[in-house]
Chains A and B, each alone.
Chain A
Amino acid sequence: MTAVTETPRTGAPIGDGGIGQSVRDSLVVARRNLIRMTRIPEVVIFGLIQPIMFVVLFSYVFGGSMSIGGSTNAGVYREFLMSGIFAQTVTFATAGAGAGIADDMHKGLIDRFRSLPMARGAVLTGRTLADLVQTALTLLVLAVVALLVGWRTHTNIGEVLGAFGLLLLLGYAFTWIGALIGLSVRTPEAATSGGLVWLFPVTFVSNAFVPTDNMTPWLRHIAEWNPFSAIVQAARQLFGNPGVADSSAWPMQHPVWASLIWSVLIIAVFRTLAVRKYRNATA
């Protein structure tokens, strides 16, 4: 019954609703978020200060009293610690994604986007991609600081890059959890605190800062199956750093596979949920 009236338009439309449009729209949104980052450098700078503080505090406060593989040498703990800090840094980026999306909702930008003929997931994909760029930059700076305090890798460049790749993939997966939180809360403030609060148990009930050997069995069990532990174990292995847990749990024995599987699984589940939430979002 509908005689579709042709829209007068400036320039030929290129949207075809296909994968090409999804990619293009996501990149347009990613660009927007990256421009924003350059206009609010404070956010990037604070994002850097926090992990650097962790490196310094943990190294020098806990450094001498931790026993890693029988050694209480502070240098050994520092090498043990770095993979944990790297992993913590990529996961903490989730809070930023959540806060950013909640802020867009609050300000009516999500309404604007949802009224445009753009690809459905592009607003969220664009945001998570921009966060990935920021996380990569943070990791780079952090790696330099780590080298300065004495962290070293003992493997080849391929394995080291592989470790950073895995870290970024897990970080990317986690930003989808952040995106879902951002879409679910009412204010950017709630997204910031809500986006952080669950990360503490996730990052601390793990092998990141202390070896799991001394945990009570049930807690140790949780820690060993924690996706976060898998990536830390994988990174230690690929960097050739001390403290690779000698455990019978499958993710600890195959940490690279485990973190790959976890990442893909998290993206599949949380991307689906977040995009669905976005479609029905109301400011």
Chain B
Amino acid sequence: MPGAIYAEGLVKTFGDVRALDGVDLDVPEGTVLGLLGPNGAGKTTAVRCLTTLLRPDSGKAVVAGIDVLRHPNEVRRSIGLSGQFAAVDEYLTGRENLQMVGQLYQMRAKAAKVRAGELLERFNLAEAADRPAKTYSGGMRRRLDLAAALVVSPPVMFMDEPTTGLDPRNRQALWEVIQELVSGGTTLLLTTQYLEEADRLAHDICVVDHGRVIARGTSDQLKARTGGERVEVVVHDREHITTAAGLLEGFGKGAAAVEEHTRKLTVPVAGGAKLLAEIIRELDARGIEIDDIGLRRPTLDDVFISLTGHAAEEAARNTEDEGAAPGRGKGSQGRKSKKETVK
């Protein structure tokens, strides 16, 4: 049985650009899927196709059990969309905005009014409820936008980069709201460029690049694929680099990577914290002074780099610079680009 959000072979082209190049998604009811990728990867296009804003060239999409292409208006009753750019009317007050959205979800005026009041309370906007949204801070606007998407408590939610442009405190607050929402059983598809965000909120993650899903799995599965933990050591003396490298390789599972100018050595290991203690003792015994040592678990950033050969932020910058041009060089030198498609 297909999940609450299901897509098969979605393709959408804009001129020469294949924004979506055969995307398959399946989000089980009550779970969160994180669509992770740089700017221009096709995340927003995917959301727009699934929320009836854009008609895909080909493929199939089912949301809340309803065929998106055949019955778009029925789908609209069952979804909430919170966009990248907070889509609220800035000249209307928070209350007026929510009331309007409620009425356009076909609630009666009175019910829409009551619901608006509840949401303003819940999203901590009660005090600002009767001020034009123009006067709201960025975080408040996002909360209002999210509240607008929740007016009818839709079973399926889409959030397109919900925290882009927010400061860390507001991001944290919004994450808490989203987590609360999901614990109530809502199915959520979330796009993000922030690996930390996907890590924190999503049950499953799809990594998207150039309109394709290039990897999928849980955060832990994806991290495991990049090759586990590493120990990082920064030695104090440049002369000690070679000795330390030899020593580390004795403990590790492979060759040590050396960064001469920062005196940093990295080696893949298996064994965790216990191993770290042993390494420290051994370094000490040999009189190698260190500035820093740490056990580093792979981040989703590492995942992204190992999958695409470039970091998410670099890809975003390159996409902006070069548009659809094929070669994306900057920043990816020395890293082997291995694109893999996992089922």
Contact = CB atoms under 8 A, between A and B. Distances in A.
A101 to B, nearest CB: 13
A36 B103 CA distance: 17
Interface in B17-33: none
Contacts of A140: none
Contacts of A14: 106-108
Interface residues of B, number: 50
B297 interface: no
B106 A21 contact: yes
A271 B79 CA distance: 28
B155 interface: yes
Contact of B52 (A11, A15, A112, A114): A114
Contacts of A29: 100, 104
Contacts of B115: 10-11
A116 interface: yes
Interface string B96-110: 100011111111101
A107 B87 contact: yes
Interface stretch (A1-9, A91-99, A216-224): A1-9
Interface size class of A (residues with CB under 8 A): 35 or more
A183 to B, nearest CB: 14
A108 B65 contact: no
B52 A115 contact: yes
B66 A4 contact: yes
Contacts of A107: 85, 87, 90
Interface stretch (B69-77, B250-258, B313-321): B69-77
A35 B65 CA distance: 38
B9 interface: no
A79 interface: no
Q: Which of A10, A111, A118, A280 has the most CB of B within 10 A?
A: A10
Nearest to A110: B87
B56 to A, nearest CB: 13
Contacts of B85: 107-108
A266 B102 CA distance: 33
A117 interface: yes
A60 B91 CA distance: 39
Interface in B31-53: 48, 51-53
The interface residues of chain A, by DSSP majority, are classed as loop
Contacts of B100: 28-29, 31-32
Nearest to B90: A107
B65 A3 contact: yes
B148 interface: yes
A2 B63 CA distance: 10
A28 B103 contact: yes
B309 to A, nearest CB: 31
Nearest to A10: B115
B65 A5 contact: yes
Contacts of B151: 10
B132 interface: yes
Interface string A4-34: 1101111111110100010011001101100
A115 B51 contact: yes
Given A2-B67, A9-B153, A28-B104, A115 B89 contact: no
A40 B55 CA distance: 36
A35 B90 CA distance: 11
B76 A2 contact: no
A109 B54 CA distance: 15
A115 B79 contact: yes
A14 B104 CA distance: 10
Contacts of B154: 7
* Minimum-distance CB pairs A-B, first 3: A11-B111, A15-B106, A108-B87
Interface of B: 48, 51-55, 62, 64-67, 73-74, 76-79, 81, 83-92, 96, 100-108, 110-112, 114-115, 132, 148, 151-155
Given A36-B89, A115-B52, A115-B79, 11 more contacts: A2-B66, A5-B155, A8-B152, A10-B152, A10-B153, A28-B100, A32-B100, A39-B92, A117-B76, A117-B77, A117-B106
10 contacts: A5-B65, A7-B78, A8-B152, A11-B107, A11-B115, A35-B96, A36-B91, A107-B87, A117-B77, A282-B48
